[in-house]
Amino acid sequence: MRRLAPADARDFHRLRLEGFALQTREFRYAPADEERLTPKEIEARLLRDFVVGAFCEDELVGIGGLSRGVGCKIAHKALLFGMYLRREYRGSGIADALMSALLDEARRTVEIVTLTVMSGNAPAVGFYRRWGFESYGIEPRAVKEDGLYFDEMLMSLSLAGG
């Protein structure tokens, strides 16, 4: 488990594409969105955001990121994004290790962590709730795919005790 660097951009990009392709209804982004990114844009994301990767031997098998709010009025918040773990590693504790690393970083830098999750993704909602995230709303029809609309649950975790 370690923070990803620009040198990891290719593997990071490949794993994101895999997740978007295999779980199209669990992510708000489509593979086409990710495919448009240039290597420089992916490297810049890894420099700007805190992205952690889980490795099995030398293979990247899980990822998750924190994007801190920009600007003095929202710098106290971070958005948790892009949690994905290959199916064969689920239930192994790796997802918890990813979340632990992300929240350790968040505790050092922000007061609140927010996220969005597709409302129908019960395993992910349950995982986030187990880590203390609470729902504070639903965005109806947040995502449209193939003419169908999907709601997103908005969740947050206060790290400041208030």
β-bridge pairing 59-68 and 50-56: antiparallel
- Whether this prediction's pTM lies above 0.85 is answered by yes
Tell whether the model's pLDDT for residue 161 goes beyond 90: no
What is the span of the domain harbouring residue 129? 2-158
**pLDDT, tens digit, for every residue of 128-147?**
999 999 999 999 999 998 99
Question: Number of folded domains in the chain?
Answer: 1
**pLDDT, tens digit, for every residue of 71-124?**
999 999 999 999 999 999 999 999 999 999 999 999 999 999 999 999 989 999
**pLDDT, tens digit, for every residue of 40-73?**
999 999 999 999 999 999 999 999 999 998 999 9
Give me the CATH number covering residue 51.
3.40.630.30
